[in-house]
Amino acid sequence: MKLPHVDIVKYRKIWFGISALLTIPGVVGIILCMMTFGAPLKPGIDFTGGSILQYQFEKPLELDQVRHVLEEVDLHGSQVQKAFISGKEVIVMRTKAIDDEAEKKRLDTELEKQCGPFQALSVDKVTATIGPELLTNGLLALFVTLACMVAYISYRYQFDYALCAIAALFHDVIVLVGFYALFGKFMGTEVDSLFISAILTVIGFSVHDTIVVFDRIRENAKYVGAKYKDPKTGEERKRSFGDVANDSVNQTLFRSLATSLTVIFTLASLYFLGGVTTKDFVFAMLIGIISGTYSSIFNASALLAYWREIQAKRPKVIKPATA
């Protein structure tokens, strides 16, 4: 299948403008969350701690029925799962910390009223699974990873390739975090440890897709300066780095879209047909994969070509000859 030729470099202002429209509202959302929650995202139970309740009901229940009761007693964002102990179904509820005995009694009353009699197997209060120390170590690991990426891409390609790849990577992370910051501020969406997994997966996918495009640009860089006839104007001129970047992106365009669409279709099926507990994780993956595909095709290569144009326009410094 042959896709139409897309002039990436010529219309780079449009691509950069679309990226700005996606990232600026997200940055505003991050700032609002910092002002409201003291964090760039609304933290979930994994970050703030909470209570774990294991109840065994006399009759099988739907998880949505239990979630409805939890929301009625102001325990929004709770995680509800089914488990089996000695062959019997057990409802496991992970909620925010329940410190007040009256609040616990209200929950038990509503559960018995709407879901039937039950036996409380365990009620435990837990601390945050991701503490400040682990968060600090995670951020440190992220910066080390980015430094290693810059070093490796600079070694295999050139330093400006590495900078453009990291810029595209930051674009994807800001888009994903920005969307969830807005969701957290206006819709109450909380993030948990699965969201961290989604960010790491998106980082890997984005860099992989960008490297594929950059590898083709490196292969075609030998044609920079070669003469060719412009198919539109018929004028004969020398190929610029932007021409080579355009050709390289179009040569890998079908492969990039086919790979991304395969992942997107799989994630969409999981989102609409999968369980409720994984919906936020899958939706975060969808946003990240779409953003990563866009930045790899339209941002990374156009940014690299723009950088090379700036470098070419700079006057070359001629060192004086030594005696």
Mean pLDDT of 77-104: 85
Paired with 252 in beta bridges are: none
Of residues 263 and 7, more confidently modeled: 263
Residue 117 pLDDT exceeds 70: yes
What's the Rg (C-alpha) of the chain?
26
The domain segmentation of the chain, as residue ranges, is 12-38+131-313, 50-126
Same fold across 12-38+131-313 and 50-126: no
Residue 43 pLDDT exceeds 90: no
Mean pLDDT of 278-289: 91
Confidence grade of residue 316 (pLDDT, cut at 50, 70, 90)? low
**Distance separating alpha carbons of residues 185 and 41, to the nearest angstrom:** 8
pLDDT number for residue 100 = 82
Mean pLDDT of 70-97: 85
- Tokens 């044609």 correspond to 223
Please give the single-letter amino acid code of residue 91: I
**Distance separating alpha carbons of residues 94 and 76, to the nearest angstrom:** 11
Q: Specify the CATH class of 50-126 in words.
A: alpha beta
pLDDT number for residue 179 = 94
**Distance separating alpha carbons of residues 307 and 165, to the nearest angstrom:** 12
pLDDT number for residue 138 = 66
Please give the single-letter amino acid code of residue 135: L
pLDDT tens-digit readout, 161-220: 988 999 998 999 999 999 999 998 888 888 887 888 888 888 888 888 888 899 999 898
pLDDT tens-digit readout, 129-175: 666 666 667 667 778 877 888 888 888 888 889 889 999 989 999 99
H helices present in the chain, as ranges: 12-37, 45-48, 63-72, 101-115, 132-156, 159-187, 193-220, 241-273, 279-294, 301-313
How many other C-beta atoms lie within 10 A of the C-beta of residue 263? Answer: 16
Confidence grade of residue 111 (pLDDT, cut at 50, 70, 90)? very high
With a threshold of 0.85, does the pTM exceed it?
A: no
How many other C-beta atoms lie within 10 A of the C-beta of residue 248? Answer: 23
**Distance separating alpha carbons of residues 75 and 51, to the nearest angstrom:** 11
pLDDT number for residue 224 = 84
- Tokens 């219309």 correspond to 11
Residue 290 pLDDT exceeds 90: yes
Q: How many CA atoms lie within 13 A of 157 on its CB side?
A: 23
Residue 242 pLDDT exceeds 80: yes
The CATH number fitting domain 12-38+131-313, selected from 1.10.600.10, 3.40.50.2300, 2.60.120.10, 1.20.1640.10: 1.20.1640.10
Report the percentage of the chain scoring pLDDT > 70: 91
> What are the structure tokens assigned to 259, written together?
């790979």
**Distance separating alpha carbons of residues 90 and 84, to the nearest angstrom:** 6
pLDDT number for residue 208 = 86
Residue 286 pLDDT exceeds 90: yes
pLDDT number for residue 96 = 84
